[in-house]
Amino acid sequence: MCGYGRAVWTPGKRGRPAITDDPDPWPLCAPGLNGESVPMRDRSREEVDACVVGAGAAGGVVGAKLAEAGLSVVILEAGPHWSPVRDFASDEVDGRKLYWLDERITGGADPLQLGENNSGRGVGGGTVHYSMIKMRLQPHDFRRRTLHGAVPGADVQDWPVSYEELEPYYEEVEEALQIAGPMRYPWGRRRHRFPQREHRLNATAEVLVRGCTRLGITAAPAPVATLSAPHGRRPPCVYRGFCHYGCSTNAKSSVLVTYIPRAIAAGAEVRAGAMAARIEHDAAGRITGVLHFRGGEARFQRARIVVVAGYSIETPRLLLNSHSARFPDGLANASGLVGRCLMVHTGEQVFARYAERINQYKAPPGLALTEDFNRELPGADFTSGYTIECVGPHVGHYAAQMAAARGLWGARLREAMLDYNHVAAFGMVGDVLPQRANRMALHASEVDGNGLPVPHVVFGHHENDHRLVRHATATMERIHAAAGGTDLWASGRTAHLMGGCRMGRDSVDAVVDRDGRAFTVPNLFICDGSVFPGAGAGNPSLTIQAVAARTADRIIEMARNGELTRVAERRSA
């Protein structure tokens, strides 16, 4: 008992359960928004309709929607279930606990840095410490192959869904997260107003707008997932700027404080500390459930369908680790594409010193942006484009970037740090072309604490990526110079992960279909950033969540139509 009395759950009924004297089906509890405990179902002994692996950006959306439609749902999450008021200390060092820092071997021509800038571990996944910029992809991003043709050395594909099909899901997620954005967003299709008004710009955003305006470049307040007005039990943002270390006020619309409470209220069990190790199947090749480790013990969750939402490294890893006599190369891997076409965004940042005080740590880091370069640029020596956003590294990150990019150390680093409050920085989100050679595979000999082979990630940039970065860096330098910035320096980096289990039109060229359903395993779905066929030039989480919302609706529809036979059989029993 959680001190909430007993509760009864009615399948398909939304909202908190009524308190009754009936036997207690809610024996567990989960952390609530404000330090309280919330009653939760225990579904460990059931064969549930859906087991979702990963409670991040996508897993939270799909788990909540399936539970609200009346399906019995368990969400397995490797990390802890955070309590915002108890666990988030507004501290750079403490924030490290939010990243996925398990061992991963990286290599290739441009080895990826994996950890704080592209992973999350715990309920909410990467949304607990992301920068909250919620961009839609542009309609052309979904048709790159058709519009611009093949690129030698790359594997550019169209998406199997269109912008028009995703548009209602973009709107649904923007509403659920109460995105705050400008009255008129200057780029892309005409759209409805954002649910909340735009945020006031911080100094770095003002610098970006000033520089762009002087150059005739359009800049605008960014759409961000933190409240600009109270919403329900959540207060508006207070602009302290600790967004990368967990928002203790709950203003930030992470999945932890939005979709997860909805999932629990609708009867889902969110099982934290549960690391999925293998997806099992029967003799006919249908999935039967998920073997997972919890508290050092191996457990099995029976499920009629499994939705994998562990992101671009852990999702393919789980599929590859689930190899069997029937699927010797891993689950859903008939195409050989599981783990391949892994992508990032190029994320070069350019810093400049300003006479006025900037306080770059203040407020959410990405409050303004320009999408003027997010298209094919006439005369450019590369295809595709990039977005420029403002960023605001805290002191520890800033010092590390200066040490790496400028070779400063000791007294020289200390002296340069004195300028911290007068520095403003912009970052790019650059499209990176998919290549089959960029991949996550299982390491041949290294295993983790559970005895599971660790990921071996190989990555190298296409020449197009390098050219695009040079163009974007020069543009960021021009904007700084126009805004009055001096002493410019640049720091190379990448951000975000995409691909690894891409969606497509057929089983030769893709792992899952347009609904996220594995071509070769009918009751297995993949629903996270790994399904992206292309990276695009915008922060990915809104598209990840829009695709997840669509996948959830398709699963619900399939269940109702009897396409997922065993789910339908059980639901009508």
Residues that bind ligand SF4 (CB under 6 A): 226, 237-243, 247, 249, 251-252, 363-364
Least separation in angstroms between CB 541 and ligand SF4: 15
Contacts of 506 (CB under 8 A, 6+ apart): 519
Taking the C-alpha atoms of residue 328 and residue 330, their distance in angstroms, rounded to an integer, is 6
Taking the C-alpha atoms of residue 39 and residue 32, their distance in angstroms, rounded to an integer, is 9
Q: Which stretch binds ligand FAD (CB under 6 A): 74-82, 368-376, 433-441, 550-558?
A: 74-82
Asked whether position 244 contacts ligand FAD by CB under 6 A, the answer is: yes
Binding mask 484-513 for ligand FAD (x = CB under 6 A): ------------x-----------------
Among ligand SF4, ligand FAD, none, residue 131 binds (CB under 5-8 Å by kind):
ligand FAD
Query: Judged by CB under 6 A, which of 78, 264, 352, 358 binds ligand FAD?
Result: 78
Q: 463, exposed or middle or buried, with CB in 10 Å at 0-12, 13-18, 19+?
A: middle
Among ligand SF4, ligand FAD, none, residue 238 binds (CB under 5-8 Å by kind):
ligand SF4
User: Which H helix or E strand runs over 570?
Assistant: helix 565-572
Q: Which of 350, 373, 317 is nearest to 426 (CA)?
A: 350
Among ligand FAD, ligand SF4, none, residue 240 binds (CB under 5-8 Å by kind):
ligand SF4
Gyration radius (Cα) of the chain, Å: 23
Among ligand SF4, ligand FAD, none, residue 129 binds (CB under 5-8 Å by kind):
ligand FAD
CA 312 to chain centre: 10
**Residue 306 and residue 76 in contact, taking contact as beta carbons nearer than 8 Å:** no
Asked whether position 311 contacts ligand FAD by CB under 6 A, the answer is: yes
* Nearer CB in complex with ligand SF4: 89/417: 89
- From residue 29, alpha-carbon distances to 60, 149, 216, 269, 288 in Å are 17, 53, 55, 9, 27
Taking the C-alpha atoms of residue 85 and residue 256, their distance in angstroms, rounded to an integer, is 12
Backbone angles phi, psi at 423, to 5 degrees: -105, 140
Query: Judged by CB under 6 A, which of 40, 55, 66, 425 binds ligand FAD?
Result: 55
Q: Which two tokens stand for residue 191?
A: 């759209």
Query: Judged by CB under 6 A, which of 26, 130, 525, 532 binds ligand FAD?
Result: 130
Least separation in angstroms between CB 485 and ligand FAD: 23
Taking the C-alpha atoms of residue 383 and residue 394, their distance in angstroms, rounded to an integer, is 33
Q: Which stretch binds ligand FAD (CB under 6 A): 38-46, 130-138, 335-343, 410-418?
A: 130-138
Asked whether position 76 contacts ligand FAD by CB under 6 A, the answer is: yes
Q: Which two tokens stand for residue 419?
A: 């300028």
* Nearer CB in complex with ligand SF4: 93/411: 93
Least separation in angstroms between CB 227 and ligand SF4: 8
* Nearer CB in complex with ligand FAD: 173/416: 173
Taking the C-alpha atoms of residue 185 and residue 179, their distance in angstroms, rounded to an integer, is 13
Asked whether position 314 contacts ligand FAD by CB under 6 A, the answer is: yes
Q: Which of 519, 516, 504, 499 is nearest to 435 (CA)?
A: 499
Query: Judged by CB under 6 A, which of 117, 248, 523, 551 binds ligand FAD?
Result: 117
Query: Judged by CB under 6 A, which of 66, 176, 212, 309 binds ligand FAD?
Result: 309
Taking the C-alpha atoms of residue 332 and residue 181, their distance in angstroms, rounded to an integer, is 39
Asked whether position 252 contacts ligand FAD by CB under 6 A, the answer is: no
Contacts of 129 (CB under 8 A, 6+ apart): 95, 98, 99, 120, 243, 244, 245, 246
The alpha-helical segments, DSSP class H, found in 136-218 are 144-148, 163-177, 203-215
* Nearer CB in complex with ligand FAD: 500/504: 500
Asked whether position 138 contacts ligand FAD by CB under 6 A, the answer is: no
Residues that bind ligand FAD (CB under 6 A): 53-59, 76-79, 100, 117-122, 125-127, 129-133, 244, 274-276, 309-311, 314, 318, 366, 496, 528-529, 539-542, 544
